[in-house]
Amino acid sequence: MSDPLSNPTINTTNVGGQTTTQNTIGGVGGGKSNSVGTPYTTPLQTSAYTTANSLSATNSPIPNHHMINSNSSNNLSGMVTPGGAGLQQQQSSITSSTNNLGLLGQQQPQQQQQQTLLQPFTTQSRLISASCFEFFYIEMIDCIMKSSSDKQQAHKKLDKLGFKVGHRLVERLSLDTALFPELLDAVKFICKVFWTTVFKKTIDGLKTNHKGGVFVLTDSKFQWLQHLSFDSSASNKDCSEYVQFTAGLIKGAMSNFGFKCIVTFDIQQVSTCVFTIKIES
Amino acid sequence: MTINSIYILNKAGTLIYQNDFGNTEKLSHNSYIRLGSTFHSLHAIASNLSPVSGSSSGIEVIETEAFKLQCFQTHTGIKFYVIADPNHQQLEELLHGVYELYTDYVLKNPFYEIEMQIRCDLFDYKLNRLLGVRE
């Protein structure tokens, strides 16, 4: 999965000036025409690239040199800018390469034009990426619900799936972080860096009991329930399957830090979620 | 400056959402379906009758002394149209706002079946807020 992402970088640095310029302008041109049209009309190529990027970010347990840079930018984005900082930095990287090639004799006006055209593409990619994931998430849960004999089995599958993703994601996110001396520091990492990367915001509330073995995390605007609503006449208003995956994420992340735990959740008002982490010892 | 009603038709011309606002007289459910189907047919006929060469976008505005009808058709064929006061401005922007709410709160709602009638509390709530600001 990493190879397709590595190739563009190699091409940028190795191919001659003229060819690189044309490639860059072509790509940016696509983005430009996209922004001129209806925002919701998406070129397939852009979607494919963004989706591949997202999948790579989630599924790569062993980062190569390119991914190490992404790790840094993601950690920074966790602390400073929610959301697209990582992608922005990648775009900046492309711009820097173009600037370097400019020193080899390219004309100044072309350089300026390229930099200007990069902006809308970046914004568009971010929107597309978020929407793609939301639709994928809906279909994933629908598929698991239908392929399970009962609700309990579906929840177990979702929990296991979330565990795997959380376990691997936290490996990548914590690369540039100092070791956690205490359990509370690991939980704080989940509340800030991890939550910002996955849900674009920090946890709204963190409570702990006196002994320190139980933590209650409150997210008052849970990202993945923001667009969910029921038919007015629906008798069954249970949407817990759309949160079970997240409980698995937390469980997997904490497990990778060395803390075995049980994670339960409670959906209170519309889109308010409370996650309870109990450490096993 | 009032909005009387909003209709959403799928690409087959089926009415998938309809809502009245203000002091509009309520019609029967079948009447709303009939109105939606009629407009879909008129829209298609107008597109074919267009004197402009190439593809025509179909009806965009119908203005009368009693009301103004503004229609917005997406690239995918979904039609949003609103019936309002003759003097109402910015109906086009309003329809784009409705389209954004549709993509965010209907299509991203996991309990909504594609091409079926829209029954989402959150969409209704957001739509009322959107219209409240305009009015």
Per-residue pLDDT band for B38 (boundaries 50, 70, 90) equals very high
**Sign of the dihedral defined by the CA atoms of residues B9, B14, B17, B18, in that order:** positive
- So what's the pLDDT on residue A211? 64
Per-residue pLDDT band for B113 (boundaries 50, 70, 90) equals confident
Question: Do β-strands A205-208 and A214-219 pair in parallel, antiparallel, or remain unpaired?
Answer: antiparallel
List B residues 2-21 in contact with A (Cβ-Cβ < 8 A).
none
Helix (H) / strand (E) element for B24: namely: none
Average pLDDT estimate for A218-243: 79
pLDDT of residue A277 exceeding 50, the answer is yes
Yes or no: say if A242 and A142 are a contact pair by the CB < 8 Å rule.
no
Q: What's the topology of domain B3-131?
A: Beta-Lactamase (3.30.450)
Average pLDDT estimate for A73-91: 34
Residue A249 one-letter amino acid: L
Q: Is the Cβ pair A228, B123 closer than 8 Å?
A: no
B74: chain A residues, CB-CB within 8 Å: 38, 40
* Chain segment A263-272, per-residue pLDDT in tens: 999 888 667 8
Structure tokens at A76: 């920074």
Angle CA A215–A218–A224, to nearest 5? 125
In angstroms, what separates the C-alpha of A238 from chain B's closest C-alpha? 11
Average pLDDT estimate for A134-143: 88
- So what's the pLDDT on residue B4? 86
Average pLDDT, chain A: 62
CA dist A119 and B80 (Å) reads: 31
- Three-state SS string across A167-189, please? HHHHHHHCCCCCCCCCHHHHHHH
Residue linked to tokens 């690369």: A175
CA dist B96 and A99 (Å) reads: 39
Per-residue pLDDT band for A124 (boundaries 50, 70, 90) equals low
User: Burial level of A186, CB count in 10 A (0-12/13-18/19+)?
Assistant: buried
pLDDT of residue A73 exceeding 60, the answer is no
- So what's the pLDDT on residue A166? 93
Per-residue pLDDT band for B84 (boundaries 50, 70, 90) equals very high
Q: Which of A206, A178, A183, A211 is nearest to A276 (CA)?
A: A206
Structure tokens at A105: 């004799």
Comparing alpha-carbon positions, the chain B residue that sits nearest to A232 is B121
Residue B76 per-residue DSSP state = T
Average pLDDT estimate for A45-53: 33
Q: Is the Cβ pair B110, A242 closer than 8 Å?
A: yes
Yes or no: say if B130 and B94 are a contact pair by the CB < 8 Å rule.
yes
- So what's the pLDDT on residue A17? 35
Comparing alpha-carbon positions, the chain A residue that sits nearest to B73 is A38
CATH number among 3.40.630.30, 3.40.50.300, 3.30.1380.20, 3.30.70.20, domain A130-279: 3.30.1380.20
pLDDT of residue B39 exceeding 80, the answer is yes
Yes or no: say if A193 and A170 are a contact pair by the CB < 8 Å rule.
no
pLDDT of residue A244 exceeding 70, the answer is yes
What is the DSSP track for A214-248?
A: EEEEEETT-GGGTT----TT-S----THHHHHHHH
Average pLDDT estimate for A101-107: 34
In angstroms, what separates the C-alpha of B71 from chain A's closest C-alpha? 16
Share of chain A above pLDDT 70, in %: 50
Q: Domain coordinates of chain A in residue numbers?
A: 9-118, 130-279
Average pLDDT, chain B: 85
* Chain segment B22-34, per-residue pLDDT in tens: 766 778 888 999 8
Which has more pLDDT, A237 or A91?
A: A237
Residues belonging to chain A: 281
Q: Which of A40, A229, A234 sits opposite B123 (nearest CB)?
A: A229
Angle CA A207–A208–A213, to nearest 5? 150
Q: Is A227 an interface residue toward B (CB < 8 Å)?
A: yes
* Chain segment A50-61, per-residue pLDDT in tens: 333 333 333 333
- So what's the pLDDT on residue A9? 32
Average pLDDT estimate for A103-115: 38
pLDDT of residue A252 exceeding 90, the answer is yes
Neighbours of A160 (CB within 10 A): 13
- So what's the pLDDT on residue A192? 84
Q: Which of A40, A141, A229 sits opposite B120 (nearest CB)?
A: A229
Q: Which of A131, A151, A156 is nearest to A224 (CA)?
A: A131
